[in-house]
Amino acid sequence: MKGWTGHILRINLTNRTHKIETFGQEFAEKWVGGRGLALKMLWDELRPGIDPLGPENKLIIAVGPIAGVPAPNTGKTVVAAKSPLTGGFGDGNLGTRATEHIRKSGYDALIFEGQADKPIYVYIEDDKVQYFPAEDIWGKGTYDTHDYLYKRYGKGVGVLSIGQGGENLNRYAMIRSLEGRAGGRPGIGAVMGSKKLKAIVIKGSKPIPVADPEGMRKLGLDDLRKVGEINKQTGWSIQSTTGVLSWCNEVAALPVHNMRQTHHPDAWKIDGERLNNARVATYGCPNCTMRCGIAIRDHEGHESELDYENVGLLGSDLDIFELDQVGSLNYLCDDYGLDTISAGDTLAFYADAIEQGAIKGDFRFGDAEMAKKLLGQAARREGEVGNLLAEGSLRMARAIGHNSEAYAMQVKGLEISAYNCKFIPGMALAFATCPLGAHHKDSWIITFEIKQSQRDSYGPEKAAKVIELQRIRGGLFEFIVACRFPWIELGWPLDHYAEYFNKVTGLNWSLDDFWKVSDRIYALMKFFWVREFPDWDRTRDYPPMVWFDPSNADKEGPIAGKVLELDKYNQLLDHYYNQRGWDQRGIPTRQTAEALDLKDEIVEVEKYTKLE
Amino acid sequence: MIKITVKLIGPLVNLAGFSEKIIELPAETTVEEVLASLPVDPQRPKIITRNGQAVALSEKLRDGDRLAISPIYSGG
């Protein structure tokens, strides 16, 4: 088998044992890698209803066949588990040197199961696995943790770690690597913390199995250079993702004041221009020639690496328009190992709930110093407020009551990324049908909606575009495991990825072959949710109700007086389900699942619900 | 003559040398004519809005319009 090592390293943290398991060509071609591999393993191995923070949950670290191979933006790794935030399928990806080392150690995936009795970290070097006490770094932030491990093993190793957030089971804790890289929004860091696994250090020395090593090397290096040239010509890295802030402000899509407002006159103070002017360093993932991480000095003098989501949720959504303070909040999230998106949304929800009189508290929008204190309390689960904030906005809303769930900005429990869809139906659908909860990662269609469609349309073209992008972004890039930016930001053709895949695996796949894998993965992700929540219905694919509330409409600006309409949204959801071959509950039909070769999975899911 | 505000976004700011400015134009100037007057690559995809709403290249500008020109973003 080429492209895949065919090996999975299974580590049991309860008894500190490990074994190497194998899989064959048929399995590899069916699930490919990254999200596909992780999903299939979690589906096969997890019993529904388990406590995501108990020993039965499994942490999967999975790479793909082109991961680590020198080619545009192949430095990514997927981390996955049953989510403690949503109770459903959870994954995320992050750029890390671990990607290359996982492959060079001879694995396509690592499985961590059980629970250590004391804090440990695991060192993996090829076939060797060692377990070390982590008392010296337990309680420390990710920056100190990485420094500690780099001193011991050198900077060339791959390190994945958690901060205090993961240790204390904050439900939106992430896994960190390198400077500013993080992945696993749905609380995958908390799963790692529940296993008392502070860090994974990995170093590999084996060759990555490539069918055409010379051809791949020449093509990959050439294409890395070309992507770098396009980046220079277009100037994309000048503001990288943060340029979108000004645009969202122009078109009334910026999160402001817990997404109750869509634009703000002070937004320019935290926009991409200001960020670029304040830049002190630039960071990127391995195998990247269009680095996106802009680091600034935060209010306390730390280096803090920002992208748009960080600025949108920790800045404008909290009415904080001082860039250095946004940098401070971002630095703290990175150090504590918290998801900046969920942290921002959760703090904004807290401020909003106080403003609405649903709960008493001292926090107000715009108060950066209090926001810093609250992040620390949430990361460490200190006191009543810290424990409440550590649960995420949906659980908070259910604890608070007073109809506050309507303005908890989340879907399925996962907080919404930095696009305010008060009047952007297609992007609301993208958030609502994302298989993790409200993440922009799988589909992002705002520019399509505004440029190539009509903003107020709920037509089939928007459902089709969401699915097209889910196949590419949530499918292809998540299972071959590469960053989507060369394609989405610079127009690097998708055909190249088929070429890399074929050179690495020796297969002859077209893009259509990838789309079938994407659809299979999306169907199984939905089955995963349905198995956990057998009373599944379409309301779980709804965005927050406040977006449908006419009293929440903007008073002025481009979308004054307009909000989403629920009956029309349901029509849009119908288009989406019909085009996917899913029933009106939002569950793949038997015919659809059979066409995607999910025979065994149908038998399993039908223990919980009858397929149409 | 009409006065409009041109707002550039992302790297277009560096390419054109300004972020936002008010310009004076003959009445009935189209979006395309404004775009042609700016040092931005016409081949690269862009999204252009007038007062926050999508606008076609052929549309004529009106006094007081705010024209925002942005490259396409995926947003992070």
Rounded CA separation A331/A297 (Å): 10
Q: What number of CA atoms fall less than 13 Å from residue A581's CA on the CB side?
A: 12
Torsion of CA A319, A320, A326, A329, to 10 degrees: -70
Rounded CA separation A102/A8 (Å): 10
Domain for residue A225, yes or no?
no
Domain for residue A128, yes or no?
yes
Rg of the Cα atoms in chain B: 12
Same-domain check for residues A286 and A266: yes
Q: Please name the residue of chain A whose CA is at the shortest distance from the CA of residue B44.
A: A234
CB A498 within 8 Å of CB A511 = yes
pLDDT digits (tens, 9 = 90+) for A194-221: 999 999 999 999 999 999 999 999 999 9
Pairwise CB contact (< 8 Å): A247 & B19: no
Q: Which of these ranges, A135-149, A256-270, B36-50, has the smallest mean pLDDT?
A: B36-50
Determine the average pLDDT of the residues in A87-98: 97
Helix or strand run (H / E) with residue A193: helix A188-194
Rounded CA separation A175/A94 (Å): 8
Rounded CA separation A583/A590 (Å): 9
Domain for residue A216, yes or no?
no
Q: Which residues of B touch A447 (CB under 8 A)?
A: 47, 72-73
Q: How far is CA A73 from the centre of its chain?
A: 17
Determine the average pLDDT of the residues in A292-296: 96
Q: Which residues of A touch B14 (CB under 8 A)?
A: 235, 238
Pairwise CB contact (< 8 Å): A558 & B51: yes
CB A112 within 8 Å of CB A13 = yes
Same-domain check for residues A239 and A384: yes
Determine the average pLDDT of the residues in A385-398: 98
Q: Residue A54 has what DSSP assignment?
A: S
Shortest distance between the Cα of B22 and any Cα of chain A, in A, equals 16
Same-domain check for residues A257 and A160: no
Confidence of residue A453 (pLDDT cuts 50, 70, 90): confident
pLDDT score at B76: 60
Where a domain ends, among A391, A416, A441?
A416
| Domain total in chain A | 3
Closest CA to A127 of A5, A24, A29: A5
Rounded CA separation A523/A598 (Å): 9
Where a domain ends, among A395, A416, A437?
A416
Query: What is the pTM assigned to this prediction?
Result: 0.98
Domain for residue A263, yes or no?
yes
Same-domain check for residues A428 and A393: no
Determine the average pLDDT of the residues in B41-60: 91
Same-domain check for residues A500 and A610: yes
CB A82 within 8 Å of CB A51 = no
Pairwise CB contact (< 8 Å): B68 & A444: no
Beta bridge partners of A92: A79
DSSP codes, A240-286: GGGGHHHHHHHTT---BTTTTBS--TTGGGGSHHHHHHT--EEE--T
Closest CA to B65 of B19, B14, B12, B27: B27
CB A457 within 8 Å of CB A450 = no
Rounded CA separation A33/A125 (Å): 21
Same-domain check for residues A155 and A288: no
pLDDT digits (tens, 9 = 90+) for A511-549: 999 999 999 999 999 999 999 999 999 999 999 999 999
Pairwise CB contact (< 8 Å): A238 & B14: yes
Q: Which of residues 253-282 of A touch B (CB under 8 A)?
A: 272-273
- Higher-scoring residue by pLDDT: A392, B75: A392
Pairwise CB contact (< 8 Å): A241 & B51: no
pLDDT digits (tens, 9 = 90+) for A471-519: 999 999 999 999 999 999 999 999 999 999 999 999 999 999 999 999 9
Domain for residue A15, yes or no?
yes
Domain for residue A212, yes or no?
no
CB A52 within 8 Å of CB A27 = no
How is residue A554 written in tokens? 């903007």
Q: Residue B60 has what DSSP assignment?
A: B
Same-domain check for residues A412 and A427: no
Checking if the pLDDT of B39 tops 90, the result is no
Interfacial residues of B (vs A; Cβ cutoff 8 Å) = 7, 9-11, 13-15, 19, 41, 44-45, 47, 49, 51-54, 66, 68, 70-76
Rounded CA separation A351/A329 (Å): 16
Pairwise CB contact (< 8 Å): A241 & B73: yes
Pairwise CB contact (< 8 Å): A440 & B75: yes
Rounded CA separation B68/B49 (Å): 5
Same-domain check for residues A521 and A596: yes
Q: Which of residues 202-221 of A touch B (CB under 8 A)?
A: none
Checking if the pLDDT of A564 tops 70, the result is yes
Alpha-carbon dihedral sign for residues A221, A224, A230, A233? negative
Same-domain check for residues A129 and A168: yes
Pairwise CB contact (< 8 Å): A247 & B44: no
Q: Which domain CATH number covers A311?
A: 1.10.569.10
Query: How many other β-carbons are positioned within 10 Å of the β-carbon of residue A604?
Result: 14
pLDDT digits (tens, 9 = 90+) for A19-60: 999 999 999 999 999 999 999 999 999 999 999 999 999 999
Domain for residue A226, yes or no?
no
Rounded CA separation A26/A3 (Å): 13
Same-domain check for residues A49 and A21: yes
Q: Which residues of A touch B71 (CB under 8 A)?
A: 234, 236, 243
Q: Does A229 touch chain B (CB under 8 A)?
A: no
Checking if the pLDDT of A304 tops 80, the result is yes
Q: What number of CA atoms fall less than 13 Å from residue A249's CA on the CB side?
A: 26
Closest CA to A577 of A526, A513, A517, A515: A526
pLDDT score at A582: 98
Pairwise CB contact (< 8 Å): B10 & A246: yes
Q: Which residues of A touch B18 (CB under 8 A)?
A: none
Q: Which residues of A touch B47 (CB under 8 A)?
A: 247, 447, 450-451
User: Percent of chain A, pLDDT > 70?
Assistant: 100
Checking if the pLDDT of A78 tops 70, the result is yes
Query: Sheet harboring B20-25: ordered strands across?
Result: B20-25, B2-8, B66-71, B46-50, B53-54
Q: How far is CA B35 from the centre of its chain?
A: 6
How confident is the prediction for chain A on average, in pLDDT?
Answer: 97
Q: Does A102 touch chain B (CB under 8 A)?
A: no
Q: Please name the residue of chain A whose CA is at the shortest distance from the CA of residue B43.
A: A234
Alpha-carbon dihedral sign for residues A598, A593, A458, B45? positive
pLDDT score at A451: 85
Q: Does A239 touch chain B (CB under 8 A)?
A: yes
Same-domain check for residues A401 and A460: no
Pairwise CB contact (< 8 Å): A244 & B75: yes
pLDDT score at A408: 98
Classify domain B2-71 by CATH architecture.
Roll (3.10)
Tell me how far CA of residue A330 lies from CA of A98, A344, A375, A583, in angstroms.
23, 9, 10, 41
Pairwise CB contact (< 8 Å): B76 & A308: yes
Same-domain check for residues A100 and A67: yes
Closest CA to A326 of A337, A341, A316: A316
Q: Tell me which residue range forms the domain holding A447.
A: 421-612
Domain for residue A130, yes or no?
yes
Rounded CA separation B27/B5 (Å): 14
What one-letter code names the amino acid at B73?
Answer: Y
pLDDT score at A558: 95
Pairwise CB contact (< 8 Å): B75 & A451: no
Who contacts A450 (Cβ-Cβ below 8 Å, separation ≥6)?
A251, A424, B47, B49, B53, B54
Who contacts A144 (Cβ-Cβ below 8 Å, separation ≥6)?
A137
Q: What are phi and psi of A539, to 5 degrees?
A: -65, -20
Q: How far is CA A205 from the centre of its chain?
A: 29
pLDDT score at B41: 81
pLDDT score at B73: 76
Q: Which residues of B touch A308 (CB under 8 A)?
A: 75-76
Q: Which domain CATH number covers A75?
A: 3.60.9.10
What one-letter code names the amino acid at B26?
Answer: P
Pairwise CB contact (< 8 Å): A488 & B10: no
